[in-house]
Structure 1
Amino acid sequence: MSETGRHEDVPEKNLPGERDTAHGGAVEPADNPFADPGLPPHEPRIQDIDERAAKRSERAVAFLFTLSMLATVGFIAAYVIFPVDEITYIWPFGHVSALNFWLGLTLGVALFCIGAGAVHWARTLMSDEEVADDRHPIEAAPEVKAKVMEDFRAGAKESAIGRRKLVRNTMFGALALVPLSGVVLLRDLGPLPEKKLRTTGWKKGIRLVNQSTNLPLRPEDIAVGSLTFAKPEGLEEDDHEFNQKIAKDALMLVRIQPQNIKDKQELDWSHEGIVAYSKICTHVGCPISLYEQQTHHVLCPCHQSTFDLADGGRVIFGPAGHALPQLHITVKDGFLEAVSDFAEPVGPSFWERG
C-alpha cells in the first residue's frame, strides 16, 4: 500500500472517488463500472391479463381454504372417533396410536392449506409490482402518515379482497375454524369433573371403618381427646381408584364433651359428643393430622390453617377459606354410620362453587 493509502494493484478507475463518506454518502468515481441498474421492467403475469386464469387461481385458493376447513372438521371427528389407547399399523410408520396419527395429519393439513392458500393468493392475484421508496426519518411527518393510509387502501384494493369474495369468505372460514383444534385439545387436560367435586363416597347407611385396623367403628372405640381416622366401608387400599377416592372420603373423628360443643348443628349431627369432619384441608387439600385436645383445634401441617372442631370446624387461623365440612353420623346395630353425604364440598374451593 502506498503513502496515499491506496492499493497499488487496484486499477485507478475502480477506486472510490473523493466524495465517498462512511455513512452512505454519494460515491462518484471517475468511471464507475458498478452503476445502479435500477429495477427491471415489470412483466405482467398471466392472471393480470387473462381473467380466466385469475378465476382459476381464485378457485385454487378457495379450494385450499376449503380443504383446511374440512381438515379441521376431520381433526374434531378423529378426536371423538378414535379411542386414546387404540394402536394401528400405518405404513411406513409401523404400529402407532391411531388418535395421534389422525390428529397430527388433519391438523397439519389444516395449517398447511391456510399457508399454501395465502401464498398462492399473494403470488397470483395480489399486486406484484415492485415500488422503491426512499428512506425517511424515523418520526413520521403528517404527509407520510397520509401516504401510509393511502398505500394501505391501495394495497387492500390491489389484493382484490373486496372483489374476490370467494377467496375472502373461504379464508375467513378457514381462519375461524382452525382455532377449534386448540379448543378441542383442552378437553385432554382431564375428565370433566361434573358433580364429582361436590360428592364423596359417603351416603346414608355407609359404616365408618377405622383406617388403621380396617374394622367398623363403635362409639366406645372413640375415646375423649383422641383423634381417629376413618374411611367408608367397602373402600379398600387395593382398589385402583383408592387414592382418588380417599382424597375426598378421608374422615377424622374426635370425642368432645357435649357441653363443650358450641355449634347447634354440630351437636345435632354428632353422637354422644363424637363429631366427624373431613380430613381434607380447605386451603389446598393437605391431610390434617394434628389435634390439640385441650382446645379442640386441628392444625394443617402444610400452611398452618387451624380449625375449631368444637365450633363447627370454623377457621380460626391461616389461609383456609371456609370451615371443614361435617359428616352427619348416627349409630345403627352398635356401629357408627353416615346419615348422608357431606352438606358442603370437601377440600379447596373451586371456581364453580357457590
Structure 2
Amino acid sequence: MSHEISDDNLPEAHGASHGHEVASHDDPFADPGLPAHEPRRTDIDERAAQRAERQVSLLFIVSMLATAGFIASYVIFPIDKIVTIWPLGEVSALNFSLGMTLGVALFCIGAGAVHWARTLMSDHELPAERHPIEADDEVRNDVIEQFRTGAAESGFGRRKMLRNTLIGSMALVPLSGVVLLRDLGPLPGKSLEHTGWSKASKTDPIPLVNMNTNKPMKAEDIVVGSLTFAKPEGLEEDAHDFQVQIAKDALMLVRIQPEDLKDAKSAELGFEGILAYSKICTHVGCPISLYEQQTHHALCPCHQSTFDLADGARVIFGPAGHPLPQLKITVDDEGFLVATGDFDEPVGPSYWERSR
C-alpha cells in the first residue's frame, strides 16, 4: 500500500530546537542548525578522564625533559663534532641535538594542549549571532560569563597535575632561547681598542703596504685626489686570521693640500698632507670605499655616512656616531710611509664598552 508523503510528515531536522530554519525542498540553503551533542567517553567515565589527564601531563613532562636536553646539548657537544646518523649521513651533533630536543619540546606542548582540549575541555558548540563591532553591555557581560564558564569547564583550576605540568613546560621552553645567546660569540671586551698597528712605535715603526701591490709605499706614491688602501707589513692574505685582522687594520690614505686642511691635530698626525684613516665605518663597520676629491668627503656605501677627511674625518651626514680614527704616520730614512703608533680612537662602530 502506498502512502502520500508531505512536508508535514517529515521528521524534525537536527538543529530545529536551536531556533534555526529547517532546510526544505523550497529553501535548500537554510541553516540546518547544530547536530545533537554526543558525549565523549571522558564525559561519562571518570577513569577515562583521569587516564587522559595522565597522558596530557606526560606530554608536558616530556616537553620539560626535552628542554633540559636542549640546554644540556650546549654543554655536551662541541661545535665542531660531526656524527653519522642514518639516513641523514654526517651531521653536526650539536645542531642535530638542538633541533630534535627543541622540536620535541614544542611538539609535546602543542600535542598536550590539543589532547586536553579534545578530551577534557567542554566540547558543546554554542551558536552566536553576528552583531556590530562595538558590543553593548549585554554582549560584553555574556562574553565574560562564557570565559568564566570555559575556564571552569577546562579543569585548569581543578586538575592540578595538568595545570602544574603545563606551567612547568611553558616556563622551561624560553630557557632554550637564553642559551642560544652563546652563538653570538664572545664579548668584544677591549679587542677593538687595539689593532695590528699597536705594535708600532717611534723606534720600531711599521711600514704601510699597498693592498693591491702588496709593496711598501713612498710618500710620492700618494698623489692629491687619490684614495689608496693599505695594511700593516707582515699581514698576509693567506694567514688564518687575515679576515679578523684586516677588519681592524684596514687603512685608507688620501693626500690633501696642506692649506685645505681644517683640523690642526689631524694635520699633525699626517705627513705633508697625507692622512691615514681607518677604512671601517663608525656606524656598523662597513668598509668605506668612495671618495670625492673636490670636497674631500668619504662616503660609506652601506648607509651613506659621510666624513670630511680634511676636517679630522668629522661626520657631516648619516648615522655614524663619531669620526674615523686616524693613524699617526711619517716616513723612514728611505722615504717609505710608516706608522709610529695605533689609531687615536678605537676602530669600528660605537659600543657601550668603549673606554675612550
TM-score, normalised relative to structure 2: 0.71
Residue correspondence of structure 1 range 281-320 to structure 2 within 5 A: 281-282=281-282, 285-290=286-291, 292=293, 297-300=296-299, 302=301, 307-316=307-316
Say if 2:283 and 2:350, in contact at 8 Å, map to a contact too: no
1:121 to 100, 116, 121: 116
1:138 to 125, 131, 138: 131
Q: Secondary structure of the equivalent of 1:324?
A: coil
Q: Which runs of 5+ in 2 are unaligned?
A: 10-19, 26-31, 201-205
Q: Secondary structure of the equivalent of 1:231?
A: strand
Q: Secondary structure of the equivalent of 1:329?
A: strand
Please tell me the residue identity of whatever aligns with 1:39. Answer: A
Tell me whether 1:100 sits opposite 2:109 in the alignment.
no
2:67 to 44, 63, 72: 72
> Which protein shows a greater Rg?
1
Please tell me the residue identity of whatever aligns with 1:232. Answer: P
The answer for the alignment partner of 1:6 in structure 2 is none
1:13 to 5, 20, 33: 5
User: Counterparts of 1:226 and 1:299 in 2: how far apart (Å)?
Assistant: 12
- Alpha-carbon spacing, 1:36–1:81, altered in 2? closer, same or farther (3 Å): closer
- Alpha-carbon spacing, 1:210–1:114, altered in 2? closer, same or farther (3 Å): same
User: Counterparts of 1:105 and 1:272 in 2: how far apart (Å)?
Assistant: 63
The answer for the alignment partner of 1:343 in structure 2 is 344
Q: Secondary structure of the equivalent of 2:102?
A: helix
User: Counterparts of 1:134 and 1:154 in 2: how far apart (Å)?
Assistant: 15
User: Counterparts of 1:238 and 1:37 in 2: how far apart (Å)?
Assistant: 75
Aligned length: 325
User: Counterparts of 1:212 and 1:95 in 2: how far apart (Å)?
Assistant: 40
- Alpha-carbon spacing, 1:200–1:296, altered in 2? closer, same or farther (3 Å): farther
Of Structure 1 and Structure 2, which has the larger fraction of its residues in helix? 2
Q: Identity across aligned pairs (percent)?
A: 58
Please tell me the residue identity of whatever aligns with 1:237. Answer: E
Tell me whether 1:328 sits opposite 2:328 in the alignment.
yes
Please tell me the residue identity of whatever aligns with 2:77. Answer: F
Q: Deviations over 1:41-91 (max 9, x none)?
A: 6466388545xx655544443332122112012112224432344322234
- Alpha-carbon spacing, 1:47–1:67, altered in 2? closer, same or farther (3 Å): farther
Say if 1:45 and 1:124, in contact at 8 Å, map to a contact too: yes
Out of 242-251 and 97-106, give the one that drifted further.
Answer: 242-251
Say if 1:85 and 1:97, in contact at 8 Å, map to a contact too: yes
The answer for the alignment partner of 1:261 in structure 2 is 261
- Alpha-carbon spacing, 1:265–1:167, altered in 2? closer, same or farther (3 Å): same
Please tell me the residue identity of whatever aligns with 1:342. Answer: F
Please tell me the residue identity of whatever aligns with 1:204. Answer: K
User: Counterparts of 2:331 and 2:8 in 1: how far apart (Å)?
Assistant: 106
Q: Secondary structure of the equivalent of 2:277?
A: strand
Q: Which runs of 5+ in 1 are unaligned?
A: 1-10, 18-23, 30-34
TM-score, normalised relative to structure 1: 0.72
Say if 2:252 and 2:277, in contact at 8 Å, map to a contact too: yes
The answer for the alignment partner of 1:276 in structure 2 is 276
Give the C-alpha shift of residue 263 in structure 1.
Answer: 1.6
Q: Secondary structure of the equivalent of 1:115?
A: helix
The answer for the alignment partner of 2:14 in structure 1 is none
Please tell me the residue identity of whatever aligns with 2:246. Answer: I
Q: CA RMSD in A?
A: 4.0
The answer for the alignment partner of 2:152 in structure 1 is 157
User: Counterparts of 2:225 and 2:146 in 1: how far apart (Å)?
Assistant: 83
- Alpha-carbon spacing, 1:257–1:299, altered in 2? closer, same or farther (3 Å): closer
Say if 1:203 and 1:338, in contact at 8 Å, map to a contact too: no
